[in-house]
């Protein structure tokens, strides 16, 4: 292995404390695949440009096959002294193939190497997350498709507002996750640009063919300024911003699931396999998964702040600060993937190979409807009814406020008041008011595009199903 000191310039070895403080191998070794792919693409280009020989390239390729096998089998000896994934792999390669290994780093710096590795790795994770976002949307659309006619009280200020279809409520989250997917696809284009070939900061004197490397690695283009290429972490921050919004959406949904499952609502039930018990209270079934999903949004939001703060104030070009981008980014990716997967399963059930689903979230329609009937959710419908009979809306609003006040005093819903009582508030009220005051009448009336009428909701479900097919 390498001597303790960095090079002939150094008269003493690094302190043990500094070694541990500066090393990143224990977390950045997860970049190994990207690091090998990047090195092979670089070596292939060096040979094509005549910068290294054909035999060197063959040796590097042969050595990397072995390195790959060792890492995959777990026999690779990761060394703290070698600081990071890049130096570990290069050192082992050189051990295996000699001089060719030492030629690999020609025209390259760890600065453009690490920027390339992180982008390559993140690109793969982005593609995995894009699929998980589709699964999440499908799970919600699936439950929605079975619950168009389930009616729950829609809330504003968490006070009963107007009745809505449970499907409509779930589709609101589908819209959020669809926007997340759009954002992800958009930022992927900026992740997918190649820093390699920028060397330490200024470019290099070797006749590199950066476009060739970009093609080999599937990058859409090359970074156009070497200083920016090695120091830019915007792509990580953008991804982190995307992840923050995903987790905010998940967290809001998780919060609703927790509320809906509380005995005081009782709108849904979750399968036992997604609940936990209590060590002291025998009656408990807690929605821990949803609570944790809500909780884990905090760390992802925190990582965004961490990354932004990391970059603020860094002078050009590369600084060691940038090594600190990895742990937040890795944890963000892990958290988003696990959370999307578990929430999609808990809501929509587990999807078998043949596409069938196990039971997911169970909807208690009766409890939802009972709650919708309790909070005067159809008061707006009574006002709208009077408007249709010729009363100006503001006057109708006032008439209905009186009616609700009376109903509250009687402990009855508007629909339970006798017609004669209602007519006491406004003579225009006739027998046909009954339909306006039912939950389904209220839903059917809201037939504007994007509204909660079952016809609209079914059209949205069909649109999503086609989009997600």
Q: How far apart are CA 134 and CA 408, in angstroms?
A: 45
241-300 positions binding ligand ARG, by CB under 6 A: none
- Which region, judged by CB under 6 A, interacts with ligand ARG, from 6-14, 315-323, 362-370, 376-384? 315-323
CB of 11 to ligand ARG, least distance (A): 20
Would you tell me how many other CB atoms lie within 10 Å of the CB of residue 38? 28
Distance linking the first and last C-alpha atoms of the chain: 54
From residue 71, alpha-carbon distances to 92, 95, 326, 334 in Å are 11, 15, 20, 21
Which sequence positions are flagged as catalytic? 157, 278
Q: How far apart are CA 103 and CA 86, in angstroms?
A: 14
Q: How far apart are CA 50 and CA 449, in angstroms?
A: 63
**What's the token pair of residue 90?**
């290069």
Q: How far apart are CA 315 and CA 321, in angstroms?
A: 11
Give the residue with the Cβ less far from ligand ARG, 113 or 162.
113
Residue 110 lies near ligand ARG (rule: CB under 6 A): yes
Give the residue with the Cβ less far from ligand ARG, 62 or 79.
79
- The answer, yes or no, to whether the previous bond of 317 is cis (omega within 30 of 0) is yes
CB-hemisphere CA count at 13 Å for 67? 30
Could you tell me which residues come within 8 angstroms of residue 280 by beta carbon, excluding any fewer than 6 positions away?
none
**What's the token pair of residue 5?**
């000191």
CB of 118 to ligand ARG, least distance (A): 8
Give the residue with the Cβ less far from ligand ARG, 30 or 68.
30
CB of 27 to ligand ARG, least distance (A): 9
Give the residue with the Cβ less far from ligand ARG, 112 or 256.
112
CB of 319 to ligand ARG, least distance (A): 9
- Which region, judged by CB under 6 A, interacts with ligand ARG, from 165-173, 213-221, 318-326, 386-394? 318-326
Residue 24 lies near ligand ARG (rule: CB under 6 A): yes
Give the residue with the Cβ less far from ligand ARG, 37 or 384.
37
- Which region, judged by CB under 6 A, interacts with ligand ARG, from 32-40, 319-327, 391-399, 447-455? 319-327
Report how many residues bind ligand ARG under the rule CB under 6 A.
10
* DSSP codes, 266-315: --EE--GGG-B--SS-TT--B-HHHHHHHHHHHHHHHHHHHHHHHHTTPP
Would you tell me how many other CB atoms lie within 10 Å of the CB of residue 235? 23
328-347 positions binding ligand ARG, by CB under 6 A: none
**What's the token pair of residue 198?**
């920028």
**What's the token pair of residue 160?**
């009963």
Residue 160 phi/psi, 5-degree rounding, is -55, 130
155-174 positions binding ligand ARG, by CB under 6 A: none
Contact 130, 185 (CB under 8 A): yes
CB of 313 to ligand ARG, least distance (A): 17
Give the residue with the Cβ less far from ligand ARG, 52 or 114.
114
- Which region, judged by CB under 6 A, interacts with ligand ARG, from 268-276, 294-302, 320-328, 356-364? 320-328
Give the residue with the Cβ less far from ligand ARG, 147 or 323.
323
Residue 231 lies near ligand ARG (rule: CB under 6 A): no
Q: Which of 88, 231, 251, 323 binds ligand ARG (CB under 6 A)?
A: 323
32-91 positions binding ligand ARG, by CB under 6 A: 84
CB of 133 to ligand ARG, least distance (A): 28
Q: Nearest CA to 296 among 327, 258, 340?
A: 340
Contact 80, 24 (CB under 8 A): no
Pairing mode of beta strands 221-222, 193-194: parallel
Q: Which of 157, 312, 320, 394 binds ligand ARG (CB under 6 A)?
A: 320
- Which region, judged by CB under 6 A, interacts with ligand ARG, from 107-115, 119-127, 218-226, 384-392? 107-115
Q: Which of 39, 88, 111, 231 binds ligand ARG (CB under 6 A)?
A: 111
Give the residue with the Cβ less far from ligand ARG, 79 or 252.
79
CB of 194 to ligand ARG, least distance (A): 17
Contact 332, 323 (CB under 8 A): no
Q: Nearest CA to 311 among 323, 321, 326, 302?
A: 321
Give the residue with the Cβ less far from ligand ARG, 320 or 394.
320
CB of 25 to ligand ARG, least distance (A): 8
Question: Alpha carbon 237 to chain centroid distance?
Answer: 14
Q: Which of 322, 332, 380, 452 binds ligand ARG (CB under 6 A)?
A: 322
Q: Write out the residues near ligand ARG by the rule CB under 6 A.
A: 24, 28, 84, 110-111, 114, 318, 320, 322-323
């Amino acid at each position: 292995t390498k001597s303790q000191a960095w090079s002939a310039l150094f008269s003493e070895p690094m302190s043990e404390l500094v070694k541990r403080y500066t090393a990143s191998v224990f977390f950045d070794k997860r970049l190994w695949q990207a690091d090998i792919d990047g090195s092979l693409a670089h070596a292939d280009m060096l040979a094509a440009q005549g910068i290294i020989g054909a035999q060197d390239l063959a040796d590097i390729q042969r050595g990397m096959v072995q390195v790959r096998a060792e890492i995959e089998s777990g026999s690779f000896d990761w060394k703290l002294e070698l600081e990071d994934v890049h130096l570990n792999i290069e050192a082992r390669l050189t051990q295996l193939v000699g001089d060719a290994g030492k030629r690999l780093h020609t025209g390259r710096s760890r600065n453009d190497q690490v920027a390339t590795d992180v982008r390559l790795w993140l690109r793969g994770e982005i593609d995995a997350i894009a699929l998980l976002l589709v699964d999440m949307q499908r799970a919600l659309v699936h439950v929605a498709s079975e619950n168009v006619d389930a009616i729950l009280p829609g809330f504003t200020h968490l006070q009963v507002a107007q009745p809505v279809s449970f499907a409509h409520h779930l589709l609101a989250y589908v819209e959020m996750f669809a926007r997340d997917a759009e954002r992800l696809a958009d930022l992927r284009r900026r992740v997918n640009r190649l820093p390699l070939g920028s060397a330490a900061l200024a470019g290099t004197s070797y006749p590199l063919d950066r476009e060739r490397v970009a093609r080999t690695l599937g990058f859409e283009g090359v970074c156009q300024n070497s200083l920016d290429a090695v120091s830019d972490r915007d792509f990580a921050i953008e991804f982190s911003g995307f992840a923050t919004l995903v987790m905010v959406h998940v967290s809001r949904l998780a919060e609703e699931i927790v509320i809906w499952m509380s005995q005081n609502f009782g709108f849904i039930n979750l399968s036992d396999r997604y609940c936990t018990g209590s060590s002291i209270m025998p009656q408990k079934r807690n929605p821990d998964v949803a609570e944790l999903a809500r909780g884990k949004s905090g760390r992802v939001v925190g990582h965004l702040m961490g990354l932004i703060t990391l970059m603020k104030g860094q002078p050009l070009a590369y600084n060691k600060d940038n090594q600190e981008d990895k742990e937040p980014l890795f944890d963000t990716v892990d958290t988003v993937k696990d959370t999307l997967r578990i929430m999609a399963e808990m809501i929509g059930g587990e999807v078998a190979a043949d596409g069938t689903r196990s039971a997911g979230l169970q909807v208690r329609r009766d409890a939802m409807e009972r709650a919708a009937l309790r909070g005067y959710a159809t008061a707006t419908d009574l006002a709208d009814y009077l408007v249709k009979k010729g009363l100006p809306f503001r006057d109708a609003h006032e008439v209905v406020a009186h009616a609700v006040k009376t109903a509250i005093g009687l402990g009855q819903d508007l629909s339970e008041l006798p017609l004669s009582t209602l007519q006491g508030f406004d003579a225009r009220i006739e027998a046909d008011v009954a339909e306006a005051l039912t939950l389904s009448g209220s839903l059917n009336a809201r037939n504007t595009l994007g509204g909660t009428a079952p016809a609209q909701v079914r059209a949205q479900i069909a649109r999503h199903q086609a989009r997600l097919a």
